C-alpha cells in the first residue's frame, strides 16, 4: 500500500513496518495450531464465576502476611534493581553492557528464583534477587535509552572537552529524571505482580495461596487473594508517594531482612557438579571420547528441545506481539483523559470525569493483573488446548499494560480547542501522534512476551520455557542452564533487532514536545 | 555464614573451570576441603529441629494443618523438636531433601527415587498400606467416545491428552509407561495434543470440561473426589486402570543418626509404622503404614529410565 505514495516519508516507513509485522503474524497463524475444541466448559466456569462473586478469606493472618511479603519483595527488588540499573545505564552505550543487561532480563523471575533456590533455599534473599536482577536489566535499558534521548541542547552549550561524570549529572540526568522516576514507579507495580508470581514456586507471597486455591478448585478463596492483589496494585498511587518512600523502605527491610543461610557445600556442588554438562562430569576435557559424547549430548538436546523450543517460542511470540498491539490500541482510550473526559461526561465537572477515568483504568488494572497462567487456564477451558489460549493470555496481559502506558502518554498531547471527537479524534489526531511511541512500547514488550511464553506448560506448548521447567523438574540443571542461555541469546537477538528498528525509524521513547 | 563476595566469586569461577576441564580431581577436593570447614556451623545450627515435608499432591490448602498434626505426633514419639514445612512442587520437595533443609519426606514413587539418587545413603523406610498396590486411572470425557475396557483402550490414540504434574508417578510416569508399552510410541507422537495440568484435581476438572479428551489421574484422588460429589460421572468416567505399582513412601536421609542419636532412624521407622490414629492417617490418606525398602522401588527406577526421566548411569 505504500507504493501509492511517491515519497519515502517516515510515515510510510512506519506503515511498512506495521504491515510486515501483521503479515508475519498472519503467516504464523497458518503454521500453528489454533483449533477450537470446546465441549462443556460451563460447569467449571460457573464454579469460577460463583467463586469470583463470593470471595472468602480463609485466614486473615495468612492474607495479611502474604500481602506484606508481596509488597516487601517488590519494593526491595525494585530498589536494588534501580540502583543496579542506574549503574549499568551509565555504560549503556557499550555493546557488552547492553548484552549483559539483555542477558539478565531475559531470564524469567521464576527461573532466577529456581536457580537461587538451589543454593540459598526458600529464603528472603532468593525472593529479593529473583526480582532485583532482571529488573536491573530492564531499568538499565530504560534509563540508558532515556539518557540517549535527552534534548542535546544543554550539552551542546558546553565546551566539547571534558565530557565526564559531572557533565552527565548536570546536562543529562536532570532532563531524564522525571521520566526515570515515572517509569520506576510504574515498575513497582510490575514488581508486585512478579513478586506475587514468585509464590508459584514456593515463596510466601500472594501467588503461593492463589495458585494453591486455584489448583484445588477453591475459587472463593482464590478470589479473595486475587482481590487483595488488585487492591494492593490499584491503591498504590494513593499511598506510595516519593516522600514516604524512605519510611516504606525502612519498614520492608525491617519486616523482611534479606538473608539466607548459604551453605558453601551447596554452592560448590552447584557450580562444580550440577551445572556442568553431564558428559563432562568427572571426565577429562581433552580426550576425544569426551568431546564426542558432549557433541552427542548437545546434538540430542538440539533436536529434541532447543530447535522445537526456539520455533514454538518465536511463532507464539510473534502472533502474541501483534495481538498485543491491536489490543493495546483498542484499550488505550480507557486510560486517556482525551477520550474519557471528552465523552458524554464532558461538562459534568472534573470529579465525575476523574471517576470514570478511574473506572477505565481499573479495567486495565484488572486485565493486566490477571496472571497469564489463570487466563491460560480459563482460555483452555473455553477454547480447548491449542496456541489460542496462550495468545489470548499473553495478548490480554501485555495489551492492557501497553494500553495503560499509551493512555498516560496521550495526556501529554495538547490538542487544538476545536479538535474533533470520538473516532475521528482517535484515528486522525491521536493515533498518528502516538504511533512511534506505540511501536517503541511494543518492541519493549517483545522480549517480555518471549520470556513469558515460559509459563504456559499447562497448554502443552513446548516453548523453550517449557523445556527449562522440565529440566528443573528432572534435576538436570546442566540442561536447564544451557536452555536458559539459548533463550537469553534469543532475547538478546530480538533486543538488538528492536534497537535497530528503533534507530531506523527514529522511534522516540520520551514524550515528544508538540 | 557470611560470604565475602569477591573472593568467593573468584573461587567459584575457578571451581567451575576446574570441574569443567576436570584435569585434576585433586583441585576440587582441596578447595572443597577448605570451604567445607566453614560450612559445618551452618549445618550444626539447623540440626536441632528435625524437619520434614510432603509433596503437594492434593488438597494443598490444608497441607499445613494436616501435617502439623503429624509433626506433633512425631515430636511426642521421638522426643525431639519436629517441624513440617510446606513446599509448592514435587521438585521443591526433592531439592529441600537434597539440601538437608528437610531430613524426612513423604514422597511419591518417582520423587522418592529422584531424591534417593541425589542423596546417597538415604532410605525408603515406610509406605502406605495402599501404596503396595497403587494404580492410575485413565479418564475420558464422554464426547471422546472411548469406552471403559479391561484391556488398554487403543481408541485413545490421536485424542487430546493431559498428564498431571510433570514429576508425578501416578499422573505422569506410569501412565506414560503404559501408553508407550501398548501404543508403541511417545505421547507427543500418539496424541494430537499433550498437556501437563499441574495436579490431579486440575486433570479431573480439565477432562470433565472436555478441554482435554483423555487424562491420567491418581486413583485415590479420583475416588475421594467422587465420594465428595465433585465429579459429574455423566461427563467424565474411568476408562482403564493400570496394573499396580509401588508409590508413596517416607524417605529419610542416611545421616540422621549422626545428628539425633544412633538409633534415631530405627525409632523414626517405628513411630511411622505404629501410627494408628485414624485422624492422622487421614492426612495422607492411608489406612496404615507398612515397612518399605529402596529395592521395592526398582520398578519405578526402571520405568523412569525407560521413558527418559532419569539418566541410566548415575
**Do residue A335 and residue A441 come from a single domain?**
yes
Give me the mean pLDDT over the B267-291 stretch: 92
pLDDT recorded at residue A512? 38
Provide the CA A51 distance to its chain's centre, in angstroms: 28
Quickly count: other Cβ atoms within 10 Å of residue B79's Cβ. 11
pLDDT at B21 over 60: no
Q: Are A234 and A188 in contact (CB under 8 A)?
A: no
Q: Are A444 and A328 in contact (CB under 8 A)?
A: no
Residue A64 lies inside a defined structural domain of this protein: yes
Between A345 and A111, the more confident residue is: A111
Give me the mean pLDDT over the A299-326 stretch: 91
- CA-based R_g, chain A, Å: 24
Give me the mean pLDDT over the B282-295 stretch: 91
pLDDT at A4 over 60: no
Cα separations (Å) of A307 from A312, A368, B166? 9, 31, 21
Q: Are A233 and A195 in contact (CB under 8 A)?
A: no
**Do residue A65 and residue A128 come from a single domain?**
yes
Lowest mean pLDDT, pick from A408-412, A427-431, B19-23: B19-23
The segment with the largest mean pLDDT, out of A92-101, A134-143, A209-218, is: A134-143
Give how far A79 is from chain B: nearest CA, Å. Answer: 20
> Helix, strand or coil for residue B105?
strand
Kindly provide the b/e burial profile for residues B4-29, where b requires at least 16 CB atoms within 10 angstroms of the residue's own CB: eeeeeeebbeebbebbbebeeeebbe
Lowest mean pLDDT, pick from A43-57, B17-31, B36-50, B107-121: B17-31
Asked if the C-beta of A305 comes within 8 angstroms of chain B's C-beta atoms, the answer is no
Would you call B193 and A40 a contact, using CB atoms and an 8 Å cutoff?
no
**Do residue A182 and residue A328 come from a single domain?**
no
Q: In terms of Cα–Cα distance, which of A154, A380, A436 is closest to B160?
A: A380
Is it true that the peptide bond before A202 is cis, omega within 30 degrees of 0?
no
What residues in A contact B28, CB-CB < 8 Å?
272
Q: Can you tell me the distance from the alpha carbon of B183 to that of A474, in angstroms, rounded to the nearest whole number?
A: 25
Tens digits of per-residue pLDDT, A217-275? 889 999 999 999 999 998 888 888 888 889 999 999 999 888 877 778 788 888 888 88
pLDDT recorded at residue B108? 93
Would you call A58 and B118 a contact, using CB atoms and an 8 Å cutoff?
no
Q: Which CATH number fits domain B47-132+253-306: 3.40.50.80, 3.30.465.10, 3.40.190.10, 3.10.129.10?
A: 3.40.190.10
**Residue A40 corresponds to which cell in the numbers above?**
462443556
Sole residue written with cell 497458518? A30
Would you call B230 and A217 a contact, using CB atoms and an 8 Å cutoff?
yes
Residue A336 confidence class, pLDDT cut points 50, 70, 90: confident
Cα separations (Å) of A268 from A44, B12, B103? 48, 7, 21
CATH number assigned to the domain comprising residue A424: 1.10.3720.10
Quickly count: other Cβ atoms within 10 Å of residue A124's Cβ. 20
Give backbone dihedrals phi and psi of A59, rounded to 5 degrees, phi first.
-155, 115
- CA-based R_g, chain B, Å: 22
Provide the CA A112 distance to its chain's centre, in angstroms: 15
Would you call B198 and A212 a contact, using CB atoms and an 8 Å cutoff?
no
pLDDT recorded at residue A7? 54
Cα separations (Å) of B149 from A41, B137, B140, B161, B182? 26, 12, 12, 18, 14
pLDDT at A351 over 70: no
What residues in B contact A285, CB-CB < 8 Å?
20-23
Asked if the C-beta of A201 comes within 8 angstroms of chain B's C-beta atoms, the answer is yes
Instruction: Looking at A3-123, list the stretches that DSSP marks H as alpha helix, in order from N- to C-terminal side.
Output: 10-31, 42-53, 60-89, 95-105, 109-120
Asked if the C-beta of A189 comes within 8 angstroms of chain B's C-beta atoms, the answer is no
Residue B18 confidence class, pLDDT cut points 50, 70, 90: low
Give how far A379 is from chain B: nearest CA, Å. Answer: 9
Give me the mean pLDDT over the A26-51 stretch: 82
Asked if the C-beta of B199 comes within 8 angstroms of chain A's C-beta atoms, the answer is yes
Percent of chain B residues topping a pLDDT of 70: 83
Residue A182 lies inside a defined structural domain of this protein: yes
Q: Which residues contact B24 (CB under 8 A, 6 or more apart)?
A: B18
pLDDT at A80 over 90: yes
pLDDT recorded at residue B294? 95
Residue A5 confidence class, pLDDT cut points 50, 70, 90: very low
CA dihedral A246, A252, A257, A258 (to 10 degrees): -90
pLDDT recorded at residue A375? 84
Q: Name the residue ranges covered by the structural domains of chain B.
A: 5-45, 47-132+253-306, 135-241
Lowest mean pLDDT, pick from A5-14, A68-77, A289-298: A5-14
Q: How many structural domains is chain A composed of?
A: 2
What residues in A contact B96, CB-CB < 8 Å?
121-122
Residue A41 lies inside a defined structural domain of this protein: no
Residue A8 lies inside a defined structural domain of this protein: no
CA dihedral A326, A329, A330, A332 (to 10 degrees): 150
**Do residue A257 and residue A319 come from a single domain?**
no
Asked if the C-beta of A208 comes within 8 angstroms of chain B's C-beta atoms, the answer is yes
Between A35 and B172, the more confident residue is: B172
Burial of A53 (0-12, 13-18, 19+ CB in 10 A): exposed
What residues in A contact B188, CB-CB < 8 Å?
462
Q: Are A48 and A380 in contact (CB under 8 A)?
A: no
**Do residue A314 and residue A239 come from a single domain?**
no
Please name the helix (run of DSSP H) or strand (run of DSSP E) that holds residue A501, with its range, or none.
helix A477-505
Q: Are B115 and B98 in contact (CB under 8 A)?
A: yes
pLDDT at B246 over 50: yes
**Do residue A228 and residue A316 come from a single domain?**
no
Give me the mean pLDDT over the A379-406 stretch: 88
Would you call B118 and A278 a contact, using CB atoms and an 8 Å cutoff?
no
Asked if the C-beta of A442 comes within 8 angstroms of chain B's C-beta atoms, the answer is no
pLDDT recorded at residue B65? 82
Give backbone dihedrals phi and psi of B234, rounded to 5 degrees, phi first.
-80, -15
Asked if the C-beta of B153 comes within 8 angstroms of chain A's C-beta atoms, the answer is no
**Residue A472 corresponds to which cell in the numbers above?**
528443573
What residues in A contact B90, CB-CB < 8 Å?
473
What residues in A contact B99, CB-CB < 8 Å?
118, 121, 263, 266
Residue of A nearest to B17 (CA): A272
pLDDT at A8 over 70: no
Would you call B209 and A275 a contact, using CB atoms and an 8 Å cutoff?
no
Give how far B31 is from chain A: nearest CA, Å. Answer: 9
Please name the helix (run of DSSP H) or strand (run of DSSP E) that holds residue B214, with its range, or none.
strand B214-218
Tens digits of per-residue pLDDT, A58-78? 788 889 999 999 999 999 999
Residue A277 lies inside a defined structural domain of this protein: no
Please name the helix (run of DSSP H) or strand (run of DSSP E) that holds residue B193, with its range, or none.
strand B193-196
Tens digits of per-residue pLDDT, B188-230? 899 998 999 888 988 999 999 888 999 999 999 999 899 999 8
Residue A62 lies inside a defined structural domain of this protein: yes
Tens digits of per-residue pLDDT, A143-191? 998 888 888 777 777 776 666 778 888 888 888 888 898 889 889 988 9
Domain with A253 in it? 49-155+164-269
Asked if the C-beta of B48 comes within 8 angstroms of chain A's C-beta atoms, the answer is no
Residue of A nearest to B205 (CA): A44
Give how far B162 is from chain A: nearest CA, Å. Answer: 8
Residue B241 confidence class, pLDDT cut points 50, 70, 90: very high
Percent of chain A residues topping a pLDDT of 70: 91
pLDDT recorded at residue B25? 35
**Do residue A401 and residue A463 come from a single domain?**
yes
Asked if the C-beta of A64 comes within 8 angstroms of chain B's C-beta atoms, the answer is no
pLDDT recorded at residue A241? 85
Residue A180 lies inside a defined structural domain of this protein: yes
Tens digits of per-residue pLDDT, A93-125? 888 998 899 899 888 888 899 889 888 888 899
What residues in B contact A308, CB-CB < 8 Å?
none
**Do residue A252 and residue A310 come from a single domain?**
no
Cα separations (Å) of B66 from A55, A56, B99, B102, B134? 24, 21, 24, 17, 22
Q: Do B47-132+253-306 and B135-241 agree at the fold level?
A: yes
Between positions 65 and 84 of B, the ones with CB within 8 A of A are: none
pLDDT recorded at residue A354? 63
pLDDT recorded at residue B34? 34
pLDDT recorded at residue B17? 59
Residue A69 lies inside a defined structural domain of this protein: yes
**Do residue A443 and residue A381 come from a single domain?**
yes
Asked if the C-beta of B35 comes within 8 angstroms of chain A's C-beta atoms, the answer is yes
Would you call B201 and A216 a contact, using CB atoms and an 8 Å cutoff?
yes
pLDDT recorded at residue A457? 60
Residue A494 confidence class, pLDDT cut points 50, 70, 90: confident
**Do residue A376 and residue A265 come from a single domain?**
no
Measured in residues, chain A has a length of 514
Asked if the C-beta of B88 comes within 8 angstroms of chain A's C-beta atoms, the answer is yes
Question: What strands lie across the sheet with B136-141, from one edge to the other?
Answer: B193-196, B160-163, B214-218, B136-141, B236-241
> Helix, strand or coil for residue B245?
strand
pLDDT recorded at residue A353? 59
Asked if the C-beta of B234 comes within 8 angstroms of chain A's C-beta atoms, the answer is no
Query: Widest CA span of chain A, in angstroms?
Result: 82
Query: Widest CA span of chain B, in angstroms?
Result: 66
- Distance, first Cα to last Cα, chain A: 28
Residue of A nearest to B102 (CA): A121
Q: Can you tell me the distance from the alpha carbon of A241 to that of B249, in angstroms, rounded to the nearest whole number?
A: 53
Q: In terms of Cα–Cα distance, which of A489, A485, A483 is closest to A464?
A: A483
pLDDT at A26 over 70: yes
Asked if the C-beta of A122 comes within 8 angstroms of chain B's C-beta atoms, the answer is yes
Percent of chain A residues topping a pLDDT of 90: 26
Residue A400 confidence class, pLDDT cut points 50, 70, 90: very high
**Considering chain A, what is the average pLDDT of its residues?**
84
Between positions 258 and 297 of A, the ones with CB within 8 A of B are: 261-268, 271-273, 275-276, 278, 280-286
Asked if the C-beta of B167 comes within 8 angstroms of chain A's C-beta atoms, the answer is yes
Give how far B20 is from chain A: nearest CA, Å. Answer: 6
Nearest to B211 among A58, A276, A384 (CB): A384
Q: Which CATH number fits domain B135-241: 3.40.190.10, 3.40.50.2000, 2.120.10.30, 1.10.287.1260?
A: 3.40.190.10
pLDDT recorded at residue B112? 96
Q: Can you tell me the distance from the alpha carbon of B97 to that of B155, in angstroms, rounded to the nearest whole number?
A: 41
Q: Can you tell me the distance from the alpha carbon of A268 to that of A283, in angstroms, rounded to the nearest whole number?
A: 18
Sole residue written with cell 510446606? B86
CB pairs < 8 Å spanning A and B: 182
Q: Can you tell me the distance from the alpha carbon of B22 to that of A276, in angstroms, rounded to the nearest whole number?
A: 10
Strand bridging mode B236-241 / B289-291? unpaired
Amino acid at each position: 500500500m505504500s507504493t501509492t505514495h511517491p515519497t519515502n516519508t517516515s510515515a510510510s516507513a512506519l506503515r511498512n513496518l506495521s504491515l510486515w509485522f501483521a503479515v508475519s503474524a498472519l503467516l504464523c497463524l497458518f503454521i500453528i495450531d489454533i483449533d477450537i475444541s470446546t465441549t462443556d466448559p460451563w460447569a467449571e466456569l460457573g464454579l469460577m464465576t460463583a467463586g469470583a462473586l463470593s470471595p472468602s478469606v480463609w485466614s486473615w493472618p495468612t492474607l495479611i502476611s502474604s500481602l506484606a511479603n508481596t509488597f516487601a519483595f517488590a519494593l526491595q527488588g525494585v530498589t536494588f534493581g534501580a540502583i543496579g540499573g542506574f549503574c549499568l545505564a551509565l555504560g549503556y552505550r557499550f555493546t557488552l553492557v547492553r548484552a549483559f543487561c539483555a542477558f539478565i532480563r531475559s531470564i524469567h523471575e521464576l527461573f532466577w528464583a529456581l536457580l537461587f533456590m538451589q543454593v540459598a533455599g526458600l529464603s528472603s534473599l532468593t525472593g529479593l534477587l529473583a526480582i532485583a536482577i532482571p529488573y536491573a536489566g530492564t531499568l538499565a535499558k530504560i534509563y540508558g535509552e532515556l539518557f540517549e534521548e535527552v534534548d542535546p541542547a544543554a550539552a551542546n552549550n558546553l565546551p566539547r572537552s571534558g565530557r565526564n561524570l559531572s557533565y552527565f549529572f548536570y546536562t543529562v540526568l536532570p532532563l531524564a529524571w522525571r521520566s526515570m522516576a515515572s517509569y520506576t514507579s510504574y515498575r513497582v507495580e510490575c514488581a508486585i505482580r512478579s513478586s506475587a508470581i514468585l509464590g508459584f514456586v514456593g515463596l510466601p507471597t500472594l501467588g503461593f495461596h492463589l495458585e494453591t486455591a486455584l489448583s484445588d478448585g477453591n475459587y472463593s478463596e482464590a478470589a479473595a487473594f486475587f482481590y487483595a492483589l488488585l487492591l494492593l496494585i490499584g491503591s498504590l498511587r494513593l499511598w506510595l508517594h516519593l516522600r514516604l518512600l524512605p519510611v516504606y523502605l525502612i519498614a520492608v527491610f525491617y519486616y523482611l531482612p534479606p538473608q539466607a543461610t548459604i551453605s558453601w557445600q551447596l554452592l560448590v556442588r552447584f557450580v562444580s557438579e550440577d551445572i556442568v554438562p553431564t558428559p563432562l562430569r568427572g571426565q577429562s576435557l581433552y580426550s576425544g571420547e569426551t568431546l564426542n559424547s558432549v557433541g552427542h549430548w548437545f546434538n540430542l538436546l538440539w533436536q529434541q528441545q532447543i530447535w522445537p523450543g526456539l520455533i514454538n517460542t518465536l511463532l507464539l511470540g510473534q502472533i502474541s506481539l501483534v495481538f498485543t498491539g491491536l489490543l493495546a490500541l483498542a484499550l488505550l482510550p480507557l486510560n486517556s483523559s482525551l477520550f474519557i473526559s471528552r465523552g458524554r461526561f464532558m461538562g459534568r465537572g472534573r470529579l465525575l470525569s476523574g471517576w470514570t477515568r478511574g473506572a477505565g483504568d481499573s479495567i486495565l488494572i484488572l486485565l493486566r493483573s490477571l496472571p497469564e497462567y489463570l487466563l491460560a487456564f480459563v482460555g483452555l477451558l473455553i477454547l480447548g488446548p491449542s496456541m489460542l489460549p496462550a495468545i489470548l493470555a499473553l495478548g490480554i496481559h501485555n495489551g492492557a499494560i501497553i494500553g495503560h502506558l499509551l493512555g498516560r502518554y496521550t495526556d501529554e498531547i495538547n490538542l487544538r480547542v476545536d479538535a474533533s471527537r470520538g473516532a475521528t479524534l482517535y484515528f486522525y489526531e491521536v493515533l498518528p501522534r502516538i504511533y512511534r511511541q506505540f511501536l517503541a512500547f511494543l518492541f519493549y514488550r517483545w522480549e517480555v512476551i518471549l520470556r513469558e511464553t515460559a509459563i504456559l506448560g499447562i497448554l502443552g506448548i513446548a516453548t523453550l520455557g517449557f523445556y527449562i521447567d522440565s529440566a528443573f523438574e528432572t534435576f538436570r540443571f546442566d540442561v536447564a542452564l544451557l536452555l536458559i542461555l539459548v533463550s537469553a541469546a534469543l532475547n538478546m537477538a530480538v533486543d538488538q533487532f528492536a534497537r535497530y528498528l528503533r534507530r531506523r525509524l527514529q522511534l522516540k521513547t520520551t514524550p515528544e514536545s508538540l | 555464614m557470611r560470604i565475602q563476595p569477591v573472593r568467593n566469586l573468584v573461587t567459584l569461577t575457578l571451581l567451575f573451570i576446574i570441574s569443567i576441564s576436570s584435569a585434576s580431581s585433586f583441585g576440587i577436593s582441596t578447595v572443597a576441603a577448605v570451604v567445607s570447614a566453614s560450612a559445618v556451623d551452618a549445618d550444626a545450627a539447623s540440626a536441632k529441629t528435625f524437619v520434614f515435608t510432603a509433596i503437594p499432591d492434593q488438597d494443598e490448602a490444608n497441607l499445613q494443618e494436616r501435617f502439623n498434626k503429624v509433626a506433633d505426633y512425631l515430636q511426642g514419639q521421638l522426643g525431639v523438636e519436629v517441624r513440617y514445612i510446606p513446599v509448592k512442587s514435587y521438585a521443591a520437595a526433592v531439592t529441600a531433601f537434597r539440601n538437608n533443609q528437610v531430613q524426612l519426606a513423604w514422597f511419591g514413587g518417582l520423587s522418592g527415587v529422584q531424591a534417593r539418587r541425589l542423596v546417597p545413603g538415604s532410605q525408603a523406610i515406610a509406605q502406605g498400606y495402599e501404596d503396595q498396590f497403587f494404580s492410575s486411572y485413565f479418564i475420558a470425557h464422554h464426547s471422546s467416545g472411548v469406552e471403559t475396557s479391561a484391556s488398554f483402550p487403543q481408541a485413545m490414540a490421536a485424542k487430546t491428552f493431559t498428564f498431571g504434574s510433570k514429576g508425578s508417578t501416578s499422573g505422569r510416569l506410569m501412565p506414560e509407561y503404559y501408553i508407550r508399552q501398548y501404543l508403541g510410541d511417545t505421547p507427543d507422537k500418539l496424541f494430537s495434543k499433550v498437556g501437563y495440568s499441574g495436579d490431579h484435581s486440575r486433570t479431573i476438572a480439565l477432562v470433565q470440561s472436555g478441554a482435554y479428551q483423555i487424562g491420567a489421574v491418581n486413583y485415590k484422588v479420583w475416588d475421594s473426589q467422587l465420594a465428595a460429589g465433585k465429579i459429574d460421572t455423566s461427563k467424565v468416567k474411568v476408562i482403564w486402570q493400570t496394573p499396580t505399582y509401588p508409590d508413596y513412601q517416607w524417605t529419610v536421609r542416611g545421616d540422621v543418626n549422626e545428628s539425633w542419636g544412633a538409633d534415631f532412624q530405627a525409632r523414626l521407622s517405628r513411630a511411622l509404622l505404629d501410627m494408628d490414629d485414624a485422624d492422622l492417617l487421614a492426612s495422607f490418606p492411608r489406612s496404615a503404614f507398612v515397612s518399605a525398602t529402596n529395592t521395592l522401588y526398582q520398578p519405578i527406577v526402571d520405568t523412569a529410565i525407560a521413558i527418559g526421566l532419569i539418566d541410566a548411569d548415575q
